[in-house]
Chain A
Amino acid sequence: MTTHKPLEGIRVIDLCVVWAGPFATMLLGDLGAEVIKPENPFVFQPMTRGAMARPPQILLERSIAWSGGLPRNEVGPRPWNYNPTFVSLYRNKKSFTVDLRRPEGKDILRRLVAVSDVVYENNAVGTLEKLGITEEWLREANPRIILVRVPAYGLTGPYHNARALGVHLEAVMGHTLLRGYDDADPSANTAIYSGDYMAGAQGALAVMAALWYRERTGEGQTIEIAQAENAAAMFTQAIMDYSLNRNVQGAIGNRDVHGRAPCGVYPAKSPGTAATMDDRWIAIHIENDDQWQRLVEAMGSPAWALDPRFATNEGRAAHHREIDEGIAAWTREREDYDLMHQLQALGIAAAPVLEASRMFDDPHLRARDFFKTQTVRDAGTHEYVGPLWKFEKTPVEFYQPPVCFGEHNEYVYRELLKVSDEEYAALQAGGHIAEEYDPSVP
C-alpha cells in the first residue's frame, strides 16, 4: 500500500535562487508536493547550483567546504549537479530546462503554470518583471494560481531594490550587532543565514495556508514575504526590550539572553586544533540554582565554586568570567560526549558543539534512523541528512535524490505538457532542452 502524502497532487513551480526559496519548496516537496524547477541552459544563477557553472579547480579549493566541497574534490564533468549547498536543497524536486527569455520558452512556462498550483520565486525584485512574468500574466495562465514572492525588503518601500543575502538583511534587522563575542568588534562575526531558514519555513507555511484558503473559496492569491520583516521575530527579546523600555541590547556572546548563568561554551579534550577542525567544545547552560549546585558537585565541589557569591543567579551573572575559567579548567581534560552524558544525567542542558562531520557518528541520530542514503547520478552514493520531522502515517521520504540539471525534461515536456515530437525537436534544436549548461556559460 502506498502511503498518502499531505500535499500529493499539488504542483509547485520553483523559480527560486540561493537558499530561502529553495528551502521552502524543499519542505513542500518533503510533504509530497510535486516541485518542478525550470532552469536555463544559457543562464547560470550564482549561489544556486554553485558559484560558477564551470569553476576552476583552485576556486573550489579556496572556497569554504559547504560551497566548494565537491565529490573527490574534483570539478568533474557537471559540477552543477553536486554542489553541496545545491544538493542540500534539491531533494524531492524535478528539473527541466527552458530559456524563459525567448517567447517559445515563456510559452512553455505558461503551459506549465496552467497545470500547476503554486509559483514560488525569490529573485531580486525586477528579475521576473524583466522576463514579463508578472502576477497578471500568471493569473491569465491560471486564475487559481498561488504566487509567492520573497523579496529581501519587500516589493515596495525605499529599500525594495536592495540586493541582499540573508547576512545583509539580518544586519539591517539588528542581528549582527546582537550576536558575536561581547568583547570583540562585530567584524569578528562570521556570516549567517538564519533569515533564510525563517523565510523558507514560513514560505512553506504560507503556501499551505493559501492552499487552505483556496480549498475554502476557490481563489488563488499572491503572497509577499519580505525576508527582513519575516526575520524580525528571531530577535523578539531585543525588539521588545527597545519597544517597551527603549533599551538597546548589544552582543552577549554565548550568554543567555534571559540572564540565567552560567551559560557558555567551554573547551573539551581535543584530538587536535581549530586549524585542523579537531578542536572540541562543550556548551553548558545552567538555568537555576539547583542545577548550579549539581554542576558544582559534578566538578567535585572545588573551593572556587563554593564561593557564596555564586549561590544566586544574580551573583553568578555578575561574576560570569570567573566562573567560566573555573568550569573550563574542569572541562578541558574531559571528552565532550562524556561531559554531556554526565551533566544530562543531572538534568543539566549540556551538549558538544559538533563539528558537522561528527553528526554521522552520533548514536542518538543513528538510533532514530535519521540519515538517508541517496545516489546522485554524477556524485555517487552517500549518506544525507534526514528530514525535519517524523510523520507517523505520512512519512517524509526522499523519493527523488537531489535533482540533476534537466533530469526531468522528458517528463515535463512529454508527459505533463504533451508536447508533440515535432515541437520537442524544435525546442531541442533551439537549445531549450539540455542536460548541460551551454558551453558559453562560465
Chain B
Amino acid sequence: MQALDDLRVLDLTHHIAGPYATRLLADLGADVIKIEKPGGDIARQLPPFKGGAPHPERSGLFFHLNCNKRSVVLDLREPAGKAALEALAKTAHVVVENFAPGTLDRLGVGLDFFRRINPALPVVSISNFGQTGPYRDYRLSELTLYGFAGEMYSMGLTEREPVKMAGTAALFESGAAASVAIMGALWAAKRFGIGQHVDVSLAETHFGGVDRRHATAIAYQFSGRKTIRAAGGGAGMPQGIYPCADGYVEFTNAALRPDRIDDMLGHPEWNQDPRFSDPVQRLDPAVIEEWNVYFLTWCLERTKREIWAEARRAKVLCGPLFSMEDLFEDDHFRDRGFWARADHPELGEVEFPGRPFIMGKGGWQLRRVAPLLGQHTEEVLREAGVDDATIGQVLAAGGAR
C-alpha cells in the first residue's frame, strides 16, 4: 500500500513545474493520468536526449518528470477529446493544469466544465504570474522567474550581471511548492467536502520562498537595507569557496566555533591570534587576509575529499564541489540506495535519482517508467467507461502524432 494510492489525479500539466508537482504525488502512489496533446508534452522536446539527438521518447528530462504516470493523448479541441476528459474528470479527486490562463476556458474545458461535472472537485491551476493581474498573460522562463521573483539580484559579482541557478532549479522549486497546494486542496476536499480553485503563481512561489528573497524584503521593510551582489569566495575563517589540490571546497563559519576550525586544521597555533576569535575583529578584511594565508596553504595540500573528511570529523560546515561524475561514483549515495534503475523501451537501462524522501510506510515506489506518448490512452479510457466509438475517435485524432 502506498500513502496516496486511493487518489486519482487528472494531470493537464506540461513542461517542468506542473509535471514535477504531480510526479511527487505519483511517487507516493497516486494514479496520475497525464493528458498530453497530440504530439506530446513539450518536455519531450527538451534535452538531455539519450545519444544527443532530439527524440520525443529519449528525453532524460521528460523521463525524470513523468515516471509513475500514465499517458493519455487527447485533442481537447475535438468533441471526442472533451467527452473523454469528462469521463476522466468523473473519476478524479483533483485536477491540476498549467495552461496559460484562459486557454482551457477557450477550449470549453476550464473551471466551469469541471464544476459542472463535480462541484466538489478541486482544480489547481499553475501559471506564470497567476490567474489575475496585469501580468496574467506574460511569459516566463527559468531565467526570468528567478530574476524577477527569486534572489538572482544578489547572486554573482558586484561589477557584473546577476546570475541564475543551474538548470531549471527555480521551476523545480515551484513544482515542489505546487505539490503542497495540491495536497492542501485534497485535504480540504476530504475533510470538509470543499471543492475549490487554487491559483498558484510561479512568481509568488518564489517571492514567498525560503531562499532569501522573502527575508531580504522584510529586512528592507525593517531597516531600509538592501542586499548587495557579492561573490562568496574566500571571505574568511573560513567562509566561501576555496581552491584545493583537486578542485574546490565551500565553507561556512556561521557557528562562530573557532575551536572546531582549530581541530580541523590540526594547527591550533594558527588561531592563537586573539583577533581571529573576536566576533568583531574577525570580520575585518585585513585580519581575514592574514588568516587566509594559513588556510589556503592547508587547502591546497589536500584533496576535496580529504578536506571534507577533516571537516566532518571536526563538525565544521563544509562541502566539496562535486561534478556529476563525482556524485554518481560516490559511495555514500550508493550505500544508501539512492539511485534507482529501470528499463525503458527507448532509453535502455536508466539510472536516476530515486526516492525524494523515505517514508517508513507507504512511500516512494517506482511502479512504472515514464510513459511513451499515448501509451495508456486506450487502457485508461476503457477503465473510465468511455464507449468504443469515442475511444476510436480519440485514437484516430491522437494517431496523427
Q: Are B173 and A69 in contact, CB atoms less than 8 angstroms apart?
A: no
A227 to chain B, nearest CB (A): 9
> A257 contacts which chain B residues (CB < 8 A)?
47, 142, 166-168
**With A236-B64, A283-B148 given, is the CB distance from A173 to B215 under 8 Å?**
no
Instruction: Tell yes or no: B211 within 8 A of A by CB.
Output: yes
Q: Are B205 and A237 in contact, CB atoms less than 8 angstroms apart?
A: no
Instruction: Tell yes or no: B324 within 8 A of A by CB.
Output: yes
Complex Cα spacing A73 to B222, Å: 8
Instruction: Tell yes or no: B141 within 8 A of A by CB.
Output: yes
**CB closest residue in chain B, given A71:** B222
Q: Are B241 and A386 in contact, CB atoms less than 8 angstroms apart?
A: no
Q: Are A249 and B140 in contact, CB atoms less than 8 angstroms apart?
A: no
Q: Are A62 and B221 in contact, CB atoms less than 8 angstroms apart?
A: no
Cβ 8 A contact of A85, one of B50, B154, B215, B351: B215
Instruction: Tell yes or no: A359 within 8 A of B by CB.
Output: yes
Q: Are B222 and A69 in contact, CB atoms less than 8 angstroms apart?
A: yes
Q: Are A66 and B215 in contact, CB atoms less than 8 angstroms apart?
A: yes
> B252 contacts which chain A residues (CB < 8 A)?
165, 167-168, 191
Bitwise, B192-222 to A at CB < 8 A (1) or not (0) is 1010111111001101111111111111111
> B240 contacts which chain A residues (CB < 8 A)?
187, 191
Q: Are A59 and B280 in contact, CB atoms less than 8 angstroms apart?
A: yes
**With A168-B317, A243-B352, A356-B213 given, is the CB distance from A201 to B179 under 8 Å?**
yes
Q: Are B181 and A248 in contact, CB atoms less than 8 angstroms apart?
A: no
Q: Are A281 and B162 in contact, CB atoms less than 8 angstroms apart?
A: yes
Those of A241-278 within 8 Å (CB) of chain B: 241-245, 247-249, 251-254, 256-259, 263-267, 274-275, 277
Cβ 8 A contact of A382, one of B187, B188, B221, B324: B221
Instruction: Tell yes or no: B20 within 8 A of A by CB.
Output: yes
A17 to chain B, nearest CB (A): 11
Complex Cα spacing A212 to B141, Å: 34
Q: Are B233 and A188 in contact, CB atoms less than 8 angstroms apart?
A: yes
B130 to chain A, nearest CB (A): 6
Q: Are A64 and B172 in contact, CB atoms less than 8 angstroms apart?
A: no
Number of A residues near B (Cβ < 8 Å) is 175
Q: How large is the interface on B (under 10, 10 to 19, 20 to 34, 35 or more residues)?
A: 35 or more
Instruction: Tell yes or no: B24 within 8 A of A by CB.
Output: yes
A308 to chain B, nearest CB (A): 23
Q: Are A206 and B211 in contact, CB atoms less than 8 angstroms apart?
A: no
**With A208-B187, A237-B61, A274-B159 given, is the CB distance from A213 to B362 under 8 Å?**
yes
Report which residue of A47, A52, A356, A394 has the largest number of chain B beta carbons within 10 angstroms of its beta carbon.
A356
> B332 contacts which chain A residues (CB < 8 A)?
153-154, 157-159
Interface pick from B71-79, B131-139, B269-277, B381-389: B131-139
Instruction: Tell yes or no: A119 within 8 A of B by CB.
Output: no
Complex Cα spacing A310 to B318, Å: 44
Those of A391-411 within 8 Å (CB) of chain B: 391-394
Complex Cα spacing A304 to B357, Å: 51
Q: Are A201 and B218 in contact, CB atoms less than 8 angstroms apart?
A: no
Instruction: Tell yes or no: B92 within 8 A of A by CB.
Output: no
> A175 contacts which chain B residues (CB < 8 A)?
165-166, 169
Instruction: Tell yes or no: A123 within 8 A of B by CB.
Output: no
Q: Are A237 and B165 in contact, CB atoms less than 8 angstroms apart?
A: no
Bitwise, B241-271 to A at CB < 8 A (1) or not (0) is 1110000111010111000000000000000
Bitwise, B157-194 to A at CB < 8 A (1) or not (0) is 11111111111111011001111110111111011101
Complex Cα spacing A265 to B331, Å: 39
A156 to chain B, nearest CB (A): 6
**CB closest residue in chain B, given A347:** B139
> A322 contacts which chain B residues (CB < 8 A)?
none
Instruction: Tell yes or no: B391 within 8 A of A by CB.
Output: no
Complex Cα spacing A281 to B148, Å: 10
Those of B327-366 within 8 Å (CB) of chain A: 327-328, 331-333, 335-336, 338, 347, 350-353, 355-363
> A386 contacts which chain B residues (CB < 8 A)?
204, 207-208
Complex Cα spacing A354 to B147, Å: 6
Q: Are A368 and B207 in contact, CB atoms less than 8 angstroms apart?
A: no
Instruction: Tell yes or no: B114 within 8 A of A by CB.
Output: no
**CB closest residue in chain B, given A402:** B218
> A240 contacts which chain B residues (CB < 8 A)?
48, 60-61, 63-64, 352
> A72 contacts which chain B residues (CB < 8 A)?
222-223
Those of A212-245 within 8 Å (CB) of chain B: 212-213, 215-217, 219, 221-226, 228-230, 232-245
**With A163-B315, A187-B243 given, is the CB distance from A357 to B320 under 8 Å?**
no
B62 to chain A, nearest CB (A): 9
> B255 contacts which chain A residues (CB < 8 A)?
46
B273 to chain A, nearest CB (A): 19
**CB closest residue in chain B, given A279:** B229
> B196 contacts which chain A residues (CB < 8 A)?
391-394
Bitwise, A170-206 to B at CB < 8 A (1) or not (0) is 1111111111110011111111111011101111111
B159 to chain A, nearest CB (A): 7
A43 to chain B, nearest CB (A): 13
Q: Are A56 and B280 in contact, CB atoms less than 8 angstroms apart?
A: yes
Complex Cα spacing A228 to B133, Å: 37
**With A20-B210, A213-B3 given, is the CB distance from A254 to B141 under 8 Å?**
no
Q: Are A265 and B161 in contact, CB atoms less than 8 angstroms apart?
A: yes
Complex Cα spacing A67 to B254, Å: 11
**CB closest residue in chain A, given B138:** A344
Complex Cα spacing A393 to B280, Å: 51
> B250 contacts which chain A residues (CB < 8 A)?
167-168, 171, 176, 191
Q: Are A208 and B359 in contact, CB atoms less than 8 angstroms apart?
A: no
Instruction: Tell yes or no: A23 within 8 A of B by CB.
Output: yes
**With A58-B280, A179-B164, A229-B356 given, is the CB distance from A349 to B141 under 8 Å?**
yes
Those of B1-57 within 8 Å (CB) of chain A: 1, 3-4, 6, 20, 24, 28, 46-52
A114 to chain B, nearest CB (A): 20
Q: Are B61 and A352 in contact, CB atoms less than 8 angstroms apart?
A: no
Cβ 8 A contact of A283, one of B24, B147, B191: B147
Q: Are B222 and A82 in contact, CB atoms less than 8 angstroms apart?
A: yes
Q: Are A208 and B283 in contact, CB atoms less than 8 angstroms apart?
A: no
**With A206-B359, A254-B164 given, is the CB distance from A6 to B185 under 8 Å?**
yes
Q: Are B157 and A188 in contact, CB atoms less than 8 angstroms apart?
A: yes
Q: Give 20 CB contacts A-B under 8 Å.
A: A51-B256, A158-B331, A163-B317, A174-B322, A175-B166, A197-B209, A217-B361, A217-B362, A236-B64, A237-B60, A242-B327, A243-B352, A265-B161, A281-B147, A285-B144, A344-B138, A349-B144, A390-B199, A390-B200, A394-B194
Shortest beta-carbon contacts, A-B, top 3: A240-B60, A69-B219, A168-B319
- List 11 other contacts, CB 8 Å, given A27-B177, A257-B167: A59-B280, A168-B318, A170-B319, A173-B322, A174-B327, A187-B243, A212-B190, A224-B358, A265-B163, A275-B158, A283-B144
